[in-house]
Amino acid sequence: MQTFYSIFERAVGAVAAALLATFTVIILIDVVCRYLLHIAIPWAAELTVLLFQWTIFLGSPLALRRGLHFGLGLVVPKYWPRSDRWVRGFVATVVVGASGLLFVLAIEMTQRTWHSTYPTLPLSHGVVNVGIAVGAFLMVLFGLEQLYQVFQRTPQESKT
């Protein structure tokens, strides 16, 4: 199971990196065209914002999986070591619940905004909400993995 999550994490990371590289290149091309060639690219700003939003929506689950997302990991083990497992479980449960709610709301918002399009792009505004839904789904998936890991017995615990 751990291998599946690791492979999945690498795939999501590769997509996020590709999006980051793409919007960086588009910004560079836009700046060169605008200031050196005096040619405006009207769709560049909207597309880079959209790609940046998707990068964020994919980056949040990656941060969660890598342990870089919001948590109480610095305070709880030091001051309340016996409650560390339960606090980590509580935080993972809150992340899963909030992400599940966000997923449902993002699907609803996608349906509401799908018929609205960008002024300079042949894309729906709902594409942003699809990104939110994908990110929320990944947060649920990686949050459930964390929840499983929190309450999984280690070999030393099963001996005592």
Q: Looking at residue 92, what is its pLDDT?
A: 87
Inter-residue contact 57 to 25 (CB < 8 Å): no
Residues whose CB is less than 8 angstroms from the CB of residue 133 and which lie 6 or more positions away in sequence, other chains included: 103, 106, 107, 110
Distance CA 114, CA 109 (A): 8
Inter-residue contact 135 to 158 (CB < 8 Å): no
List the domain range (segments joined by +) for residue 148.
2-159
Cross-strand partners of 124: 117
Q: What is the pLDDT of residues 30-71, one digit of tens each?
A: 999 999 999 999 999 999 999 999 999 999 999 988 887 766
pTM of the model: 0.84
Block residue for tokens 């992340």:
95
Q: Looking at residue 160, what is its pLDDT?
A: 45
pLDDT(72) > 60? no
Query: What's the total number of domains in the chain?
Result: 1
Q: What is the pLDDT of residues 118-156, one digit of tens each?
A: 999 999 999 999 999 999 999 999 999 989 988 886 544
